[in-house]
Structures are given as structure tokens and as C-alpha cells.
Amino acid sequence: MSENPFRLPRHVLPSHYDIRLELDFDRLAFDGTVDIQIGVNQATQEIVFNSADLEYHSIELSGTEGTVEITELSFDQDYERATLTLEEPIRPGTYTLRFTYTGTINDQLKGLYQSVYRDAEGNEHLIATSQCQSTDARRVIPSWDEPDFKATFHTTMVVPHGLEAYSNTRELDRVDLGDGRVEFRFAPTMKMSSYLLAFIAGPFEATEPRVVRGTPIRVIVPRGNLHLTDVAMENAVFCFEYLSDYYGIPYPGDKLDHIAIPDFAAGAMENVGLITYRDAYLIIDEEKASQGELQNSLDVIGHEIAHQWFGNLVTLAWWEGAWLNEAFASFMELKATDAKKPEWKRWLAFSNLEVPWAMGTDQLATTRPIEFEVNAPTEVDEMFDAITYGKGSAVLRMIEMFIEEDRFRIGVGNYLSKHQYGNTVTPDLWEALDGVCVWPVSEIMDTWVYQHGFPQIAVRRAEGGLQLSQRRYLAIPDESDATIWNVPLQLRGSVDGELFSRKVLLDTDEDTIGLDGEVDWVVANAGGHGFYRTSYADDLFEDLFAHVDQLDDIERYSLVSDTLAFVRNGQVPASSFLDLVGRFGDEEEHAIWSVIVAGLGSIEHHALDETVRDRFEAFVRDLLQPAFERVGWETRNGDTDLQRKMRGMLITALGTLGRDTDVIAKSSSIVSQVLAGEDGTDPEVVTATLSVYAYQGGAEEYDTLWKTYQKATTPLEQRRYLRTVAGVQREDLAVSTLDKIVEGDIRTQDGFWVFTHLLGGHAGPTVWTSARQRWDDVLAVMPGMTRLRVVEGLPALSQPEVAADVKAFFAEHPIPDAKRALAQKLERLDANVLFRERETARVKAYFG
């Protein structure tokens, strides 16, 4: 037995599975028969494998000398394992295990589970679909359900007549069994891990395959949606070609299907050859989709295709390596999106979306290292968070840009070629990168992967150069924390009137960098690729801002974002942020206005005294109106997607934070036209005006939005209207939305984010009071991985008395599945309470 009790013994190794699943939609169950070829490498009287929620009818073990008697089958529920005890020890050799059993098509969004598709007429159709990552293949087949037990799989599915069935490989044939069922046989898979298995049956239809470099690519959707697949197909083909070229290795599967699932806990899943998605990523009316919705589709499709090599062909050896699997796919999705749509400025958006998401967790004392030891199933699920996806991809981008993109790409190609069809650990990638550059990649990355948190770099002038120092940035500062990182810094600026750039590895708490002259101005995070905050001495900051026209968009973004971060943890007052944003009146980048608006929203939510609300709103209007006047209400010829997106963002901000009466009235008028079925309004304006309409709305508006959501026929429309329902601020209506979550009127896949929106609104304390009184009912409609995210809205409840109640409640009602996530959200809540207590009087004085 290995030292980790969660891991199976290594003396029995599976090599091939023959799987037959017979699905019965009437009783929501399936009957399985699985033959597993195993190799035994030492004498044993026990065979241990993974199994959960399966009822066995028979188990047989046979070898070259005949049948082996099994005397006992026992279960370990905690570790989801089963043990076969044999009458006599078996010798090393090859054996076959045959299982017959029954399982459930469950409602928990894991294993083999139920999904319901509602067609345009409102009729409901049942779908059976699977989610095997991380540890749920064992709910479909008895298996060695760990990443390094790679094997080949040969699947047969029997489903009711009239339905389609899909698995990881191409369909070999289908046979009508004459009893109302059809048998589908699929080709054997490549050597792969069990968490990448997929089994799906339902009323689907597929596009004609597009053969790209010898691989057929299809988009598969519930019937009636085939006309809305053009965007997804275009994205799938582009990303496949881009990633094939980047990796330099042919795609390892025999086909690549992309299938839309109405109920899905995750965003998507990279199953070999059969990628599953939330339906909104594949079913898209391009004329009605916003830039953000189109970008989400491209991002997610790129992410999942990237996994086909990095994750599927070369796979983590154990779950502590899940961060690299997911982070690299996230990193590659950004590269693919940027290649297809450079006008979207995806790396700037990354600085505005994924990086703050990651830093929001990593700024906490309760954060975790990127990689940590995994010893239980719940710990596996908790790895799929902001640290894995956000910080992981950010530090990969940081090291890529530090050692140079071409060298990084060569190193990745060497890594994949060396380990294809195998399993790896994190140092294997660093070794490959060490081999292509002069920088000590392993030493640098170890400090980022195995340590908690990230640094704040302080920059000041020194004689003939710069003094650089580092300390840990924390939401609640702790001067005793002496963590040091190997920080790959890229400096850019001017010395004695001459431009310069330099790479520096800061591996001590303080260092002086000689520049042979007087520094005129400097950017200490040139290009914005570093995963750290930067603080400048006052004189350097002013000189830097005097040359703001020489900064690129991410560098300008960082000035605002870092200042806001220093306000949030108390290093500077809110007035510093308010003064700074007033100097950005001529800014034209969406992402920079986005962080400005986010900062204003944070101040409004946590630190605004009602006595100065009118003056705050006037400040918002004065700040944003000039920018809005430049873009106007109407779409113009030549508008870029990001200009259209900025128009929508400014409408939302003026109508909510600024309470601009003209914007509110115009928004109501546009929404009336949209609800009346009048086409032609830009999707960005539609989304924005709906937000304003909901924010200012009462019972009539709420009822209209809810009915529109119920009638919506496309996934994007459903999500858009549900988001507006969650944006209504009146307390009784917000509680009514919570009722709809609990009563099942809102899909379980959406319940957690709607609940988060409710807690983040002005009615948050009232929604919390209602939720805590029926907490078991709330948790009951948060299945699978969504339960980990039910706590995401708690940091918004920063009123001291409400926050104290939240903490007292969870002291008595822990959530075992979300232990780490809960601790992190409660710490963020503490930080927000401190922010409120520290800044409310200051903000009042500023506007007083």
C-alpha cells in the first residue's frame, strides 16, 4: 500500500476495459457489464479498486489457469474503494475481471447523471450524461480511478430507440435490438486515464463533420439548435489548428466532438474526443451575443482543446498536479483567443479578469500553495479554484515572457514529446524549460508553486539606479510574514533621457539595481506580466504618471489596479484612488474603465455613508459622462467590439452607481422595445439596459423579467434574463428569487451564482437572513462541485453585525465539502469589514 491512504496499491494494474452500459430512462438506472484486463506484478490475495454507488450482481476473476474463487467483497465508503478477497493468493501474470452491476442515473451532476432539455415548445426531454473528473468514473464503472492507471477502453452503449449515443471515440456501428433499444459500438480509445471517459445519450443532432488535418470535428446539440452552431464550429476549427501548430504533435484521437449539455456543474470538461460544455458556450445566436459571451465561447473551446495534448496525451501523475493541467489549458486558451481575435486584447482582459480573481484569494492568510498534497476526494475538488486556474496561468505567463515566448514553446514541445501517453509531475515541465534558457526556471517557479501568496514590490530611487524590495501582499497586513519569492522583474523606463529595459531576478528582500544615471521614470512590471503588486515612492509615481502616454494599456491598467489594492488593505486611503481615477478622463480602454468602475462599486458597497450618496453619484456622473459622450448610445460604423463593450459598461455604471435619470429613462425605453420583440439593438446595449432596468425595478419589472426568462429559448438569453432577475434590488423580490432557487425553479447548475448575486446586492443581508433559516434546503439544491461555490457571496456582507452573524452561523454549520473555500471567504469578509470601518468616515469627508 502506498503512503497516501487515498491511493490504490500498485501491484495490480489495469490495461484494457470492455464496457457495456444499458441505459434505462424509465427507472433512471443503468446495467453494466465490464471486463477488465489486469496485470498482477506480485503475489496477492487481495484486489483493490475504486467503486461508488454501484450494486454488484456478479464478479468473476479468471486467468490462464481458469477461474479464481472470490470469497469476499468489502467496501471502504470513505475512500470509495472495494476489496476483493481471494480464496488463494494469485501469482504474477495477466487476468480478467468481469463485473455485472447496476448503477443510478443520478441528479447530482456527477458520475452518470440526468439532464433535462426543454425545447422551443416547452417540452422536456431527458438526457443521460457523464462527468467523471475528478473521481467519479467509479460511479459508472468499477475502475482503477486514478490518473496514472492509464488503460484503453472499448465502449458499447444500449439506449432507447430514437436517441443518440456518444462516447470518446468514433461510432463503429449501431444495431436495432428489436426491443425498443439500439446498441451503439465505439472504437477502442488511446491509452488514457479513467477521469476522461464520457458516456452520453439523448435527443441530440450533430453538424456535418469538418475534417481538419485528418480529424473529423463536430458540434452536437439538443435537437432544434443546429442552426445556432456556426460560432462554436468556427471556434473549434480555429483552436484545433492553432493548438496543433503550437504543440507540433498530431492530435492523438480519432475524432473530436463538442457537445452541449443543459445541466452541468463545471463550465466544460475535456473528455478525450468528446468534450462536454454548458450549452451557452456552443449554442449561440451571433447577432444577439455580446462580446463577452462570444469571448467566453472561444476561451472555453480553446481551453478544452488545449487539454487534448496537455492533460490527456500527457497526464498528471496524481491530483496535486491538477493545477498544471488546468493552468496550462487556461494559459493556452488565452493564446488561442488572442491569435484569433487580437482586437479583443485578451491579455489586457486577463489582467482585468483572471488575475484579480486569483489575487482575491491569494491575498489571504488562508490561501494555499498552487501545488499541495492531496489525500482525500474533497481535497481534489477544492483544487479547481482561482489558485489553480487564475494564479497558475498567471505564473506561466510570467515565466513565458521572462524567458521569451519562443524558448517557452520549444520547452513545452520537448516536454510533450518526451512524455506522450504517460504521466508526469510538475518538475518535469521545469526541467524541459531549464533546458532551453539561461534562467533557473526550476528555482524561480518553486517559490511560486510551493509557497502561499504573492509579493508587493516597492520601488524607489537610489543613487545611480533603483532600490527594489519585496514583502508579502496581504488583504489584512501582517508585518511578521517574511516570505521571499524569486521574482522575475522586467523594468522599463528612462535614465538621463535615454530609454532602457532590463530583466532582473529579485531573490532577496531588498536589492539595489545600478542603472548608471538618474532615473527619469520607470515601470517595474513592464508589460504587466508579473504576478505581483507594485508600489512606487511618491516622486516616482508622479514622474511615471507624467509619462503615462508612454505606458502600454496593461501598464496603465496596473497603476489603477494596484492603487485600488492598496486602498483595500489600508496602505493608502480611498481618496488616493478617487483622485487618481479623476486623472483618467481621456482613457479609452475598456479594461481600465472597468477597474475604475469596479473600484467605485467597491467603495459604494462597503464604505459609502448614505448622507453623501448624492454627492458620490454626482462624482460618478461627472467622471463617466465625458467617456460616455465619446461613445454615445448608438453603434457607429467602425466601432470595435471593445468600444461597443465599453458603451454597455458605462450605461450600466451611470444607471446604477451614478443613478443618472436620463440613462435610467432611456434604458427603460430600450428594454420595452426589446421585450416587445423589436430587433436591432446592439447586444451590449441590451445587456446594459436590462441591468439598469432590473437595478431600479420593482415588482412589475421583476415579474416581467422572470416571465421573459421562463420563455427564453436559447441558453444565452436564459442566462442573460436570469442574471437580470438576480439584479433586482428590492428585498422582498430578492428573497423571492432565493425561493425560486430552493424550490427548483432555477436549474441547480445556476443556483450558486444566482445566490452569489443576491448576497452581493443591496438586499444581501435580508437574503442572508432568509437563507440561514433554511440552510439545509439551500445546500440541498447545490449538488456536486456547485456546493463548493455556495459561499462565494459571503464577503459582500460587510456590515459588522451581519458579518458577525455569518461567522457565528458557520462556526456551528461547517460545510465539509467546502472547508477551505469557506475559511477563505470568511477571511475576505473580515477584510471587507475592516475596509468599511476604516474608510467610511474618510469617504464621507471626501464627499462632505
Task: Provide the β-strand partners of residue 85.
Answer: 46, 72
Active-site position among 80, 146, 270, 304: 304
Nearest to 190 by CA among 264, 255, 276, 125: 255
Task: Provide the β-strand partners of residue 131.
Answer: 111
Which residues make Cβ contacts (< 8 Å) with residue 8, sequence separation at least 6? 2, 48, 49, 50, 81, 144, 146, 149
8 A C-beta contact, residue 792 and residue 825: yes
Rounded to an integer, what distance in angstroms lies between the CA atom of residue 294 and that of residue 289? 6
Q: Is 790 helix (H, G, I), strand (E, B) or coil?
A: coil
Rounded to an integer, what distance in angstroms lies between the CA atom of residue 423 and that of residue 404? 27
8 A C-beta contact, residue 798 and residue 828: no
DSSP-assigned letter for residue 550: G
Instruction: Report CA-CA distances (Å) from 342 to 352, 401, 645.
Output: 16, 18, 15
Beta strands 465-472; 455-462: pairing state: antiparallel
Rounded to an integer, what distance in angstroms lies between the CA atom of residue 38 and that of residue 61? 10
For the range 660-668, what are the long-range contacts, defined as Cβ-Cβ under 8 Å and sequence gap of 24 or more? 660/621, 660/625, 663/692, 664/692, 664/696, 666/633, 667/692, 667/693, 668/692, 668/693, 668/696
Residue 654 parent element (H or E): helix 641-656
Task: Provide the β-strand partners of residue 22.
Answer: 31, 158
Written in H, E and C, the secondary structure of 793-838 is: CHHHCCCHHHHHHHHHHHHHCCCHHHHHHHHHHHHHHHHHHHHHHH
Q: Is 304 a catalytic residue?
A: yes
Task: Provide the β-strand partners of residue 183.
Answer: 158, 175
Instruction: Report CA-CA distances (Å) from 363 to 477, 478, 824.
Output: 9, 11, 10
φ, ψ of residue 192 to 5 degrees: the values are -155, 170
8 A C-beta contact, residue 500 and residue 521: no
Rounded to an integer, what distance in angstroms lies between the CA atom of residue 138 and that of residue 141? 5
Instruction: Report CA-CA distances (Å) from 92 to 60, 85, 141, 177.
Output: 18, 16, 24, 40
Rounded to an integer, what distance in angstroms lies between the CA atom of residue 617 and that of residue 656? 9
Locate 166 and state its grid cell: 456518444
Locate 722 and state its grid cell: 436570469
Beta strands 455-462; 498-506: pairing state: unpaired
DSSP-assigned letter for residue 207: P
Other Cβ atoms within 10 Å of 23 Cβ, number: 23
Rounded to an integer, what distance in angstroms lies between the CA atom of residue 21 and that of residue 668? 53
Rounded to an integer, what distance in angstroms lies between the CA atom of residue 734 and that of residue 754? 10
The length of the chain, given as a count of residues: 848
Which phi-psi region, left, alpha or beta, contains residue 679 (left: φ > 0; alpha: ψ -120 to 50)?
beta
Nearest to 436 by CA among 457, 455, 418, 448: 418
Order of strands, sheet of 533-536, starting from the edge strand that comes earlier in the sequence: 510-514, 465-472, 455-462, 533-536
- Residues taking part in catalysis: 304
